[in-house]
């Protein structure tokens, strides 16, 4: 069953090898776990619902305490701390589970009449506070789209599939696979996140290099708004004015509720493998990765770990004897201390894979890369969606882990990466606490790449102090990103946590554009208030 207070299915646990625990203790000190609240104790706190549900909508809306608890928070570290402490703050007043677009339109009509605030909910995997209710003095209805999880139509000639917006990753892929197709959108949240959520938050998958970001995959669909139904027809491309698709992408529930999503799909590839190359230092590694993408070598995935991430991954991998052999092999070929690990995917016909691998290896070799085959790549592929479970394993050991991500142009990658890591490394120094910080580049573009940083710190003696540690790190590093040429998010979206930094990126007139759009569809600000646009003063998007 899905965990009510953490990531994923409670039957799955990621084991942390002993040497992993020792490695972390050496970096940030020994951990001491905090006590978790029970589901019962949290349910007991849930206040009476403020909704007066009319009879015709009653079958759609659940106001039971447990349902409201299970839809109150996403997966940010702040959400995690709220769920573990039991200190949720605000709960939705009810959770609607519509069966179709018409149900959603009925719910919106009712919400508009009653001035109920509405939060669209896909897989509940937001790490930026998108789906968290806030107390604004009005009842709050969460609309959870999980019942709308079917492949509704497939046009195999135009390669367009239509899905209910609540379809999660595995159901997207399994329903397509039955017809010989794939969407190819694999965010780390794949197991739970939904196609509607991907559109609403401008998601990007691990193989965006081949399949594109959700912007390239989203072909059209249906959005229920307070002004009626917005249908976006599919065209392969158009010069007919500003693109309405692009206004829905990243709208985070402020314009309407996405109910049907048409996506561009691809026949299942003949072949797919993931290869690993080690580089002697960061400079060669970064340059090689830039060359791979700027030379348009048709890889399907590319990820480059910096030296600390490489070291950490090898330390947490288990199998110390094998890893020791690997390190001796690499060291003999020039990739010793400071080495950086690159993983790349080749996908397509056998011929395409052969050509792509040939070209990629040539580029890597010319930058002193040591090719190690597909063994480590296969490991990455096998574990590609299990990383979020690591938080659970670390939590049990008394550590908190979070990630920060951005994207920037190539000429700014080292500057921004350096500032982010320095800020996180130093962020708890005043409290005499250390952090462990490492980074990888992923989602490569001719112009630049995303920068994805992970940081680990010890939980404090109380939840309050732990949350405060997190907030100190998150907020100061978000400022570093926003003021040093990074986007406030490359793939997680804005939500409530990033909303205060959005105006730095968009500028006053960019915000005018976005606000005018939201206002046109939702003049009363009933839809997901506080998300995307930081409408209230001082709340900073947190529920407490």
Q: Which of residues 477-536 bind its own copies (CB under 8 A)?
A: 485-494, 498, 502, 505-510, 512-517, 519-521, 532
Q: Does 234 bind its own copies (CB under 8 A)?
A: yes
C-alpha 226, offset from chain centre: 28
- The window from 20-28, 104-112, 372-380, 443-451 that contacts its own copies (CB under 8 A) reads 443-451
- Applying the rule CB under 8 A, the residues between 376 and 415 that interact with its own copies are 407-412
Q: Does 194 bind its own copies (CB under 8 A)?
A: no
Q: Known binder of ligand: residue 389?
A: no
- Applying the rule CB under 8 A, the residues between 104 and 123 that interact with its own copies are none
Shortest CB 366 distance to its own copies, Å: 13
The token pair at 339 is 């080495």
Q: Known binder of ligand: residue 121?
A: yes
Among 19, 106, 149, 229, binds its own copies (CB under 8 A): 229
Q: What is the dihedral of CA 465, 87, 435, 487, to 10 degrees?
A: -120
Polymer length in residues for the chain: 544
Q: Known binder of ligand: residue 74?
A: no
CB nearer to its own copies: give 262 or 436.
Answer: 262
- Residues 396-415 as b or e (16 or more Cβ within 10 Å = b): ebbbbbbbbbbbbebebbee
CB nearer to its own copies: give 37 or 258.
Answer: 258
Helices marked H in 405-501: 413-426, 463-482
Which is nearest to 45 in space by CA: 61, 75, 62, 66? 66
Shortest CB 503 distance to its own copies, Å: 11
Q: Does 259 bind its own copies (CB under 8 A)?
A: no
Q: Known binder of ligand: residue 180?
A: no
Q: Does 12 bind its own copies (CB under 8 A)?
A: no
Among 247, 370, 390, 424, binds its own copies (CB under 8 A): 247
The token pair at 200 is 């609403």
Shortest CB 514 distance to its own copies, Å: 6
CB nearer to its own copies: give 79 or 497.
Answer: 497
User: Applying CB under 8 A, what is the total number of residues that bind its own copies?
Assistant: 95
77-85 and 463-482 helices cross at what angle (nearest 10)? Answer: 170
- Alpha-carbon span 79 to 132, nearest angstrom: 9
Q: Known binder of ligand: residue 386?
A: no
Q: Known binder of ligand: residue 324?
A: no
- Alpha-carbon span 295 to 144, nearest angstrom: 43
Q: Known binder of ligand: residue 123?
A: yes
Active-site position among 452, 455, 463, 501:
452
Backbone φ/ψ region at 368: left (φ over 0), alpha (ψ -120 to 50), beta: left
CB nearer to its own copies: give 157 or 430.
Answer: 157
Among 227, 313, 331, 472, binds its own copies (CB under 8 A): 227
- The window from 17-25, 32-40, 105-113, 222-230 that contacts its own copies (CB under 8 A) reads 222-230
The token pair at 469 is 């540690």
Among 233, 320, 418, 524, binds its own copies (CB under 8 A): 233
Q: What is the dihedral of CA 222, 225, 229, 233, to 10 degrees?
A: -40
CB nearer to its own copies: give 334 or 503.
Answer: 503
Q: Does 239 bind its own copies (CB under 8 A)?
A: yes
Q: Does 189 bind its own copies (CB under 8 A)?
A: no
Helices marked H in 75-194: 77-85, 101-114, 169-177
Contact 56, 98 (CB under 8 A): no
Q: Does 244 bind its own copies (CB under 8 A)?
A: yes
Taking CB atoms within 8 Å and a gap of at least 24, the contacts of 151-160 are: 151/175, 151/176, 152/260, 154/179, 154/181, 154/265, 156/181, 158/234, 159/264, 159/265, 159/266, 159/267, 160/219, 160/234, 160/262, 160/263, 160/264, 160/265
Q: What is the dihedral of CA 347, 349, 350, 353, to 10 degrees?
A: -40
399 carries an active-site annotation: no
CB nearer to its own copies: give 25 or 112.
Answer: 112
Shortest CB 205 distance to its own copies, Å: 12
Shortest CB 65 distance to its own copies, Å: 33
- Applying the rule CB under 8 A, the residues between 299 and 358 that interact with its own copies are 348-349, 351-352, 355, 358
Residue 244, helix vs strand vs coil? coil
CB nearer to its own copies: give 324 or 507.
Answer: 507
Q: Known binder of ligand: residue 125?
A: yes
Q: Does 127 bind its own copies (CB under 8 A)?
A: no
- The window from 57-65, 104-112, 232-240, 365-373 that contacts its own copies (CB under 8 A) reads 232-240
Q: Does 295 bind its own copies (CB under 8 A)?
A: yes
Residue 356, helix vs strand vs coil? helix
Whole-number Cα distances in Å, 344 to 24, 298, 412, 424, 429: 27, 11, 23, 28, 36
- Alpha-carbon span 182 to 347, nearest angstrom: 12
Q: Known binder of ligand: residue 122?
A: yes
Residues that are catalytic? 452
Query: Which residues are annotated binding-site positions?
Result: 120-126, 252-258, 391
């Amino acid at each position: 069953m899905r965990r009510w207070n953490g990531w994923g299915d409670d039957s799955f646990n990621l084991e942390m090898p002993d040497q992993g625990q020792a490695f972390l203790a050496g970096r940030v000190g020994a951990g001491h776990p905090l006590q978790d609240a029970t589901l019962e104790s949290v349910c007991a706190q849930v206040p009476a619902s403020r909704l007066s549900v009319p009879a015709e909508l009653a079958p759609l809306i659940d106001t039971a305490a447990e349902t409201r608890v299970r839809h109150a928070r996403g997966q940010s570290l702040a959400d995690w701390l709220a769920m573990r402490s039991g200190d949720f703050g605000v709960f939705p007043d009810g959770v609607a589970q519509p069966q179709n677009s018409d149900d959603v339109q009925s719910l919106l009509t009712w919400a508009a009449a009653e001035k109920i605030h509405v939060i669209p909910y896909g897989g509940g995997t937001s790490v930026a506070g998108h789906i968290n209710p806030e107390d604004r003095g009005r009842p709050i209805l969460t609309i959870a789209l999980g019942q709308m999880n079917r492949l509704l139509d497939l046009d195999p000639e135009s390669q367009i599939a239509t899905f209910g917006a609540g379809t999660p990753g595995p159901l997207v892929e399994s329903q397509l696979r039955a017809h010989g197709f794939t969407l190819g959108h694999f965010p780390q949240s794949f197991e739970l996140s939904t196609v509607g959520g991907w559109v609403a938050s401008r998601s990007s998958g691990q193989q965006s290099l081949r399949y594109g970001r959700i912007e390239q995959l989203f072909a059209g669909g249906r959005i229920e708004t307070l002004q009626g139904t917005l249908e976006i027809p599919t065209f392969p491309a158009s010069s007919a004015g500003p693109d309405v698709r692009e206004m829905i992408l990243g709208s985070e529930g402020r314009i309407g509720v996405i109910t049907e999503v048409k996506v561009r799909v691809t026949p299942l590839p003949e072949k797919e493998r993931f290869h690993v190359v080690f580089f002697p230092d960061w400079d060669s590694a970064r340059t090689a990765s830039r060359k791979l993408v700027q030379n348009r070598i048709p890889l399907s995935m590319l990820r480059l770990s910096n030296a600390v991430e490489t070291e950490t991954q090898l330390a947490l991998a288990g199998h110390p004897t094998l890893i020791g052999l690997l390190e001796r092999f690499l060291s003999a070929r020039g990739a010793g201390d400071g080495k950086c690990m690159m993983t790349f995917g080749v996908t397509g016909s056998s011929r395409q894979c052969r050509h792509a691998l040939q070209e990629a290896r040539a580029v890597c070799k010319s930058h002193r890369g040591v090719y190690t085959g597909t063994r480590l790549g296969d490991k990455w592929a096998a574990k590609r969606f299990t990383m979020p479970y690591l938080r659970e394993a670390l939590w049990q050991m008394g550590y908190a882990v979070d990630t920060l991500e951005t994207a920037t142009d190539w000429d700014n990658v080292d500057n921004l990466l350096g500032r982010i890591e320095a800020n996180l490394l130093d962020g708890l120094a005043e409290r005499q606490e250390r952090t462990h910080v490492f980074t990888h580049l992923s989602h490569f573009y001719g112009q630049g790449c995303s920068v994805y940083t992970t940081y680990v710190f010890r939980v404090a003696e109380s939840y309050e102090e732990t949350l405060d540690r997190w907030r100190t790190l998150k907020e100061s590093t978000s400022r570093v990103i926003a003021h040093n040429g990074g986007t406030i998010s490359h793939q997680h979206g804005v939500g409530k946590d990033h909303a205060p930094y959005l105006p730095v990126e968009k500028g006053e007139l960019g915000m005018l554009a976005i606000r005018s759009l939201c206002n046109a569809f939702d003049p009363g600000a009933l839809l997901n208030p506080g998300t995307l646009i930081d409408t209230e003063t001082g709340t900073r998007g947190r529920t407490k």
